[in-house]
Amino acid sequence: QQVRGEERQIGFGFIEDSPWEGDRTRWEFKDWGNKSQDLLPNSVVRLEGVSVNEWNGKRSININQTSRVSVLKEGSGTPVVPTSEPITIQQASQGESTVSIVARVLSVAPDQIVRRDGSGVIDVVRGRVGDQTGSIGFLSWRALDVKEGDLVKIENAQVKRFRDTPEINIGDYTKIEPYHDGSFPSTDDIQEGSKSTIMSLRDGMRDVEIELQVVDWSVRSFTTKDGEAREVRSGEVQDPSGRCRLTSWGKVDLQPGSFIRVTGARVQAWQGSPDLVMDDPDQIEILEKAPFGPIDSSNHWVEEDLDALTSGGSRRGVSTTGRIVSVRSDSGIILRCTKEGCRRVLRDGMCGEHGEVEGSEDLRLMMVIDSGVSNASLLVSREPAESVIGKSFQDIAEQIRSGGRDAFAATLKKRFLGRRVTVNGRAINDDRGCMIQAESVSVLEANPVEIAESAIERWGVVL
């Protein structure tokens, strides 16, 4: 930034008040006092002697040379040293920090954001930029003089995460200038390399381009709160990396088995999994030539290590193997709320949403599956539980009524603890960890000879 005719590099970022409350206010801050060692991400600090600046209706904090920063809770990471040295988009996407990148503009369009207090809208610019390592969306709070295909250098931009997706924020202190590099990849090359797969989808992504096969497609009619009759179309789609749902708010009719290319889609979490949403039928192109080989939709499970599932995003249509290391004592018959649209589990006859209700019986098993490195909660609903136990719901209910819940839990532990299983279903990752919702569970038969040989080879035992 130019200060009295001299260019200086100033650290800046975002800071929130009330760190122990759910409702917080976020402001920008500028570090004029070189105190980055005390301003690590996720740290809790007390600021004294700072000043407040207001410009264009936005307030920010200036941390000056004489300001005092007291660290109440240590953060993580290394201090951010202001630099104009560009990094790749792949590197910029790893965390939340101030970055400089060289990238080609893939898309750019004006947009509006509704103010939180409902007092009006804010004009912004959205788009996407890319390089040889990938692409990333951007949000600019000021007008931009760029167009699709431009190669630019972006300095002092802030990377923030929108839901599970990194996004470049361009503010008042961000510098954008043309860049010249004859060897930089073209727009077509970057877009071809930036095509998404179902496995790579993350909640909050925008401008997604992806090629899919339609499994099923249906239309649902509903009435809005304002009394307006509307239709929404949705169905299951797949590619070699997995399955997800596709929702269209525009009128488009798709045939099961057809191949499509979707452009400009956004990703929203639905029942814990990231799924695709589009608003305009022009975003779909019917492909005459299949972009990948045939897939059996009735048995399409993508095999993944449990370690990869626990460290990645939420996914559907996955298969993994591990060992059962825990069986929860509340496995068995449960009661669910009977109110329309609610299936919450009752606690002491109470629904968290509707209070005291008469519940309906259901079957659920709760376990922990472990790979030796990672583990995940395993939820087995009624049908897969009946299948893996080998008994009907009625027989299991009668067993629990006659012998008690503890006795039933003991039989489950005796049968499943320590056994290796293969699970097909959905993996959901959030702040609480990873949970796998099983659609089928199969117990792998143990071969003592193979187990012994594996242990001997792993530990180098000499007999």
What's the pLDDT tens digit per position in 148-178? 999 999 998 988 887 778 899 998 889 999 9
* The CATH homologous superfamily of the domain defined by 89-193: Nucleic acid-binding proteins (2.40.50.140)
- Cβ proximity of 379 and 364 under 8 Å: yes
Q: How far is CA 60 from CA 51, 53, 55, 56, 167, in A?
A: 8, 5, 8, 11, 21
What band does 19 get if pLDDT is binned at 50, 70 and 90?
A: low
User: Could you tell me what percent of the chain has a pLDDT over 70?
Assistant: 95
pLDDT digits (tens, 9 = 90+) for 73-101: 887 655 555 556 889 998 888 877 788 99
Q: What is the 3-state secondary structure (H, E, C) of the chain?
A: CEECCEECCCEEEEEECCCCCCCCCEEEEEECCCCHHHCCCCCEEEEECCEEEEECCEEEEEECCCCEEEEEECCCCCCCCCCCCCECHHHHCCCCCEEEEEEEEEEEEEEEEECCCCCCEEEEEEEEEEECCEEEEEEECCCCCCCCCCEEEEEEEEEEEECCEEEEEECCCCEEEECCCCCCCCHHHHHHHCCECHHHCCCCCCCEEEEEEECCCEEEEEECCCCCEEEEEEEEEEECCEEEEEEECCCCCCCCCCEEEEEEEEEEEECCEEEEEECCHHHEEEECCCCCCCCCHHHCCEECCHHHHHHCCCEEEEEEEEEEEEECCCCEEEEECCCCCCCCECECCEECCCEECCCEEEEEEEEEEECCCCEEEEEECHHHHHHHHCCCHHHHHHHHHHHCHHHHHHHHHHHHCCCEEEEEEEEEEECCEEEEEEEEEEECCCCHHHHHHHHHHHHCCCC
In this prediction, residue 160 carries a pLDDT of 87
d(CA 174, CA 155): 6
Residue scoring higher pLDDT (7 or 379): 379
pTM: 0.66
In this prediction, residue 398 carries a pLDDT of 93
d(CA 60, CA 15): 9
- Cβ proximity of 408 and 327 under 8 Å: no
d(CA 126, CA 142): 10
Q: How buried is residue 210: exposed, middle or buried, by Cβ count under 10 Å (0-12/13-18/19+)?
A: buried
d(CA 301, CA 343): 27
Characterise 57 by phi-psi region: left (phi > 0), alpha (psi -120 to 50), beta (else). Answer: left
Per-residue tokens: 448: 């003592």
d(CA 60, CA 49): 14
Say yes or no to pLDDT of 17 above 70: yes
Pairing verdict, β 134-140 and 121-131: antiparallel
> Average of pLDDT values for 56-60?
81
CATH level 2 (architecture), domain 198-295: Beta Barrel (2.40)
d(CA 206, CA 192): 16
pLDDT digits (tens, 9 = 90+) for 443-455: 988 777 777 787 7
Residue scoring higher pLDDT (82 or 418): 418
In this prediction, residue 2 carries a pLDDT of 52
Per-residue tokens: 25: 């206010």
Q: How far is CA 166 from CA 73, 137, 169, 202, in A?
A: 25, 8, 10, 10
For residues 319, 321, 326, 328, the Cα torsion angle rounded to the nearest 10 degrees is 20
Say yes or no to pLDDT of 179 above 60: yes
User: In this structure, how many other beta carbons lie within 10 angstroms of the beta carbon of residue 423?
Assistant: 28
CATH number assigned to the domain covering 2-73: 2.40.50.140
List where CATH 2.40.50.140 sits in the chain: 2-73, 89-193, 198-295, 302-449
CATH number assigned to the domain covering 302-449: 2.40.50.140
Least confident of 100-109, 198-207, 367-376: 198-207
Say yes or no to pLDDT of 259 above 90: yes
Range from 37-46, 76-85, 181-190 that averages highest in pLDDT? 181-190
User: Could you tell me what percent of the chain has a pLDDT over 90?
Assistant: 49
Residue appearing with tokens 């060289």: 102
Say yes or no to pLDDT of 125 above 90: yes
Partner residues linked to 211 by β-bridges = 261
Say yes or no to pLDDT of 256 above 80: yes
In this prediction, residue 7 carries a pLDDT of 55
> Average of pLDDT values for 52-64?
85
What band does 18 get if pLDDT is binned at 50, 70 and 90?
A: confident
User: In this structure, how many other beta carbons lie within 10 angstroms of the beta carbon of residue 199?
Assistant: 18
What band does 389 get if pLDDT is binned at 50, 70 and 90?
A: very high
Per-residue tokens: 454: 């594996």
d(CA 61, CA 48): 11
> Average of pLDDT values for 412-437?
91
In this prediction, residue 3 carries a pLDDT of 55
Q: Measured on CA atoms in the order 31, 36, 40, 43, is the torsion positive or negative?
A: negative
